[in-house]
Amino acid sequence: MDKLSPMMRQYQQIKQQHKDHLLFFRLGDFYEMFFEDALIASKELELTLTGRDCGLKERAPMCGVPFHSVDTYIKRLVEKGYKVAICEQMENPALAKGIVTREVIRVITPGTISESNMLEDGKNNYICSILVQGKNFGISFADVSTGTVFTSEFRSSNLMVDIVNELQRFSPSEILFNQEFVNLTDVAKYLKNHMKCTGELMEDEKYQSAVVRQQVEEQFGKSLDDLGLSQFPLATGCLGVLIGYLIETQKDGVKRLIDLQLYSEHQYMGVDLAARKNLELTETLRSGEKRGSLLWVLDHTKTSMGKRLMRKFVEQPLINPVQILKRQDAVEELCKDLIKRDRLMELLSNIYDLERLMTKVIYGSVSPRELKALSFTAQSLPEVKQELSTYQSSLLCDLNQRISNMEEIHNLIENAIIDEPPITMKEGGVIKPGFHQELDELREIRDNGKDYILQMEEKERERTGIKKLKINYNRVFGYYIEVTKSNLADVPEDYIRKQTLANCERFITQELKEYEQKVLVANERIIVIEQEIFEELRKFVAEQLVTVQQTAEAVATVDVLCSLAEVADQYHYTRPEIVTTGQIVIQDGRHPVVETVLDVPFVPNDTLLDTSDNKLAVITGPNMAGKSTYMRQVALIVLMAQMGSFVPASYAKISIVDKIFTRVGASDDLSAGQSTFMVEMSEVAHILKHATKNSLVILDEIGRGTSTFDGMSIAKSVVEYIMKSKQLGCKTLFATHYHELTSMEHEIHGIVNYNIAVKKHGDDITFLRKIVRGGADDSYGIAVAKLAGIPAPVVKRANEILKELESGSLATVQTNSLADQIEQAPLQIALGAPPVETVEQPEHPALELLRQIDPDELTPKKAMDYLYELKQLLKS
């Protein structure tokens, strides 16, 4: 260390404090990396690796990136799992005496990114802290880019499910956890396979120390009692650890966190992971894109803040009827006048991302243009308030009260910063003329120096009487007065000899010397003064954080409500009636996403569910006829209603639902060693354990992943359990191909049969997409296969086999050629029949079963069931 150059010694001292981070060391206009950091960064960022003399025999490996484009490089490193420490110059290098003072101002990790160009505008970036103790856990989330913090505590009956659901609700990019969390191997495996986030183990003592409680109180300026946390030690512990981590990594940036919300699982509708995916709330199942999701349909917001809040509305529907009705009132009033709404939305389009701009202000990384954007936003706010003042709904009036004009911010920035400022402060030229007297004088010297010299030259000629006196400048001597030898006798006493030449002499005066000093330092001094003024502006704006944050939240809410009104108007949604009677009544309901992408009119359908006569609807009909779409649209209409949104229906009466569960589609989880049927059964088990009488349950084709008898038995047992369990009795839509289940309508009160109407033309069918009372009389499987493009020979052979099954003669069918055997055997195997072969075993049990079958009484489904049973007998 002693042999290192002073600058490299400074680097090593700072690096020792950040051994696990890549240290971005500011040198002039570049961030440089040295030694091992340089080797890593050059490889990961594809940078040229060079070297630097450091006082040792060998040059230090070195690479760097320009400071003005550093965000791009940091983003790439963070996405690869690295943590980056930003080491800044804390003084102006031109004014520094010796080595420039440098300090690490923050550490950037996946969960602590605050730069807008490194984040999605419409999505929060959360860091999470979780503390597991036995069957309970506390969990906290913070978005340092917006200043929002959430915390809660759970008494859990299923840690795996409840933790995963909370993590999915916020989708953090970084998680801090204790050892007991690590012991939950299923959760750890899920995080590894299904969530894009990094994790860090924290010592258990940190969660329980008095320091973390103190940090919580100091951060939010209130006692635990006032914060509502005194009865939630786990929530307090994980929140304190999170704040401590942010203090350590973000330094002063932790001041941004001012908006703490203690939330409860009973505050929002429970939408578990399976339901979020199956209902495609924020992204599609197939591509993971926003387009094609419910969020895509509803999001017509004009601000980044509104986009993030709209996502929260979709992911966290309300349960409190009063809050829902307030939102509905606001949406209804906004719907009534298109011109007024358009004017308000146009004003909102002028609002910049106040939340993330304020984060930059707090961090000290805000640029002149971004500060000007704050002023531009403040300029628009009075018009927004004026427009809102014309509305009467309580929520819109309240939001108007919470929006500040930000007049002081606007006036100060407008007076101080030019209309079109540069991106950085590096070259100056940011502060308006007339704002600072010394700055104006220095600019006058810099910009009008030639005129000043000419005036001084004329003044000296008059004073001395030397008509050929000249004032010149060179780089060696600076400014000087030149007098020829013949005029030396007229030189005043205050002239100071500077240089003697063959035919003249050069002098300086005190005035010229002072002016020269001013000119030489004018540019440097201009930049310093502008930086000082800009820093004062930043600090003033930072002091307005609470006001700006409150304004940002209110503007975002107005934006979301306008968007919901715009969608309701555009797609002809209606205001749902919110009740507590247990009923879900929908007339002419439509799927909000499907109807927007169809080229043909969407066929609407009615729905009736309640807590007595219509608890469970058994829906039968062929594949592709629209059963899944229908069930999903019911769930989405209920969810939209509890968001406060209008819904795609001509009429809707919606009782508050505490949770929505779905079991839809076929999927496996090979990474967890689970087959399609295992995943299906796991999801059903979760629903039966956690649904309540106030839940809405969507079940699609339960039991189809196993044999017919097993699947039908499971499906019927699940229906019976839902209907007869004291815990359940929840409103349920149950789609199935097991037509035998339609008999349950007559066996259990509250079960009602529905089917998807189909029109048949010979061997062809047309899906009418209409839900009608009663059970379906056919699965139309072969017709659906034909529609899907199955080759004609396959469809023809399938019809032949179906007729043989219906007549009960398949067991005696013999093929006449080897080609027929090759062509038909795979089909028969696929249908579950034994390979065609001649077997004569009169004593075999299969023959006894065949004798008991009456072909005239067989339905196609029963024939298939007998076929499976025959196959099992033959195998044994």
What CATH number should be reported for the domain holding residue 777? 3.40.50.300
pLDDT tens digits, one per residue of 643-698: 999 999 999 999 999 999 998 865 544 334 455 677 778 788 888 888 999 999 99
Please say if the pLDDT value at position 702 is more than 90: no
What local confidence, expressed as pLDDT, does residue 861 receive?
63
CATH of the domain at 223: 3.30.420.110
CB 268 within 8 A of CB 318: yes
CB 595 within 8 A of CB 648: yes
How far is residue 262 CA from its own chain's centroid?
A: 20
Check whether residue 548 and residue 519 sit in a common domain.
Answer: no
Quick one: tokens of 634?
């019911």
Check whether residue 76 and residue 143 sit in a common domain.
Answer: no
Check whether residue 95 and residue 130 sit in a common domain.
Answer: no
Annotation-wise, does 623 bind a ligand?
Answer: yes
Please say if the pLDDT value at position 498 is more than 50: yes
Confidence bin at 306 (pLDDT 50/70/90): very high
Annotation-wise, does 855 bind a ligand?
Answer: no
Check whether residue 719 and residue 864 sit in a common domain.
Answer: no
Instruction: Determine the residue type at 595.
Output: E
To which residue do tokens 């906004």 refer?
Answer: 334
What's the CA gap between 536 and 527, in Å, rounded? 14
To which residue do tokens 């005190």 refer?
Answer: 510
Averaged pLDDT, 504-532: 87
What local confidence, expressed as pLDDT, does residue 675 receive?
54
What's the CA gap between 708 and 781, in Å, rounded? 15
Confidence bin at 825 (pLDDT 50/70/90): very low
pLDDT tens digits, one per residue of 401-436: 999 999 999 999 999 999 999 888 877 889 999 999
pLDDT tens digits, one per residue of 541-586: 999 999 999 999 999 999 999 999 999 999 999 999 999 999 999 9
- Answer whether residue 120 is part of any domain: yes
Give 80's strand partners: none
Which residue did the predictor score with more confidence, 530 or 519?
Answer: 530
Check whether residue 344 and residue 482 sit in a common domain.
Answer: no
- Answer whether residue 721 is part of any domain: yes
708: left (phi over 0), alpha (psi -120 to 50) or beta: alpha
Annotation-wise, does 627 bind a ligand?
Answer: yes
- Answer whether residue 270 is part of any domain: no
Annotation-wise, does 626 bind a ligand?
Answer: yes
Give 578's strand partners: 654
Residue 812 sits in which domain range?
A: 792-875
- Answer whether residue 292 is part of any domain: no
Among 783, 814, 845, identify where a domain stops.
783
How far is residue 448 CA from its own chain's centroid?
A: 53
- Answer whether residue 218 is part of any domain: yes
Check whether residue 24 and residue 97 sit in a common domain.
Answer: yes
Helix crossing, 860-875 with 708-724: angle to 10°?
Answer: 120
- A 10 A CB-CB count for 29 gives 10
- Answer whether residue 821 is part of any domain: yes
Annotation-wise, does 628 bind a ligand?
Answer: yes
Count Cα neighbours of 178 within 13 Å in the Cβ-side half-sphere: 22
- A 10 A CB-CB count for 80 gives 10
**Mean pLDDT for all residues in the chain:** 86
Among 71, 86, 108, identify where a domain stops.
108
- A 10 A CB-CB count for 318 gives 21
What local confidence, expressed as pLDDT, does residue 708 receive?
66
pLDDT-wise least confident of 350-364, 462-476, 654-668: 654-668
- Answer whether residue 251 is part of any domain: yes
As a whole-number percent, the residues of the chain with pLDDT over 70 amount to: 87
Check whether residue 745 and residue 665 sit in a common domain.
Answer: yes
CATH of the domain at 50: 3.40.1170.10
What local confidence, expressed as pLDDT, does residue 827 receive?
34
Please say if the pLDDT value at position 756 is more than 70: yes
What's the CA gap between 701 and 617, in Å, rounded? 13
Please say if the pLDDT value at position 152 is more than 90: yes
Check whether residue 465 and residue 488 sit in a common domain.
Answer: yes
- Answer whether residue 723 is part of any domain: yes
CB 145 within 8 A of CB 355: yes
Give 470's strand partners: 482
Query: What are the phi and psi torsion angles at 312 (to 5°)?
Result: -65, -40
Give 24's strand partners: 86
Query: What are the phi and psi torsion angles at 43 (to 5°)?
Result: -75, -50
Check whether residue 633 and residue 762 sit in a common domain.
Answer: yes
Check whether residue 39 and residue 123 sit in a common domain.
Answer: no
Please say if the pLDDT value at position 848 is more than 60: yes
What's the CA gap between 257 and 265, in Å, rounded? 23
What's the CA gap between 440 and 437, in Å, rounded? 5
What local confidence, expressed as pLDDT, does residue 129 receive?
96
CATH of the domain at 351: 1.10.1420.10
Q: What pTM was computed for the model?
A: 0.81
Check whether residue 628 and residue 702 sit in a common domain.
Answer: yes
Please enumerate in sequence order all residues whose Cβ is within 8 A of that of 77, keeping only pairs 6 or more positions apart, or say none.
22, 41, 44, 45, 84
3-state secondary structure 805-856: HHHCCHHHCCCCCHHHHHHHHHHHHHCCCCCCCCCCCCCCHHHHHHHHCCHH
- Judged by DSSP in three states, 764 sits in strand
Helix count and strand count (H, E) for the chain: 32, 27
What local confidence, expressed as pLDDT, does residue 625 receive?
65
What local confidence, expressed as pLDDT, does residue 690 receive?
85
CB 326 within 8 A of CB 394: yes
How many structural domains are present in the chain? 6
Check whether residue 323 and residue 197 sit in a common domain.
Answer: no
Annotation-wise, does 621 bind a ligand?
Answer: yes
Which residue did the predictor score with more confidence, 789 or 408?
Answer: 408
Confidence bin at 817 (pLDDT 50/70/90): very low
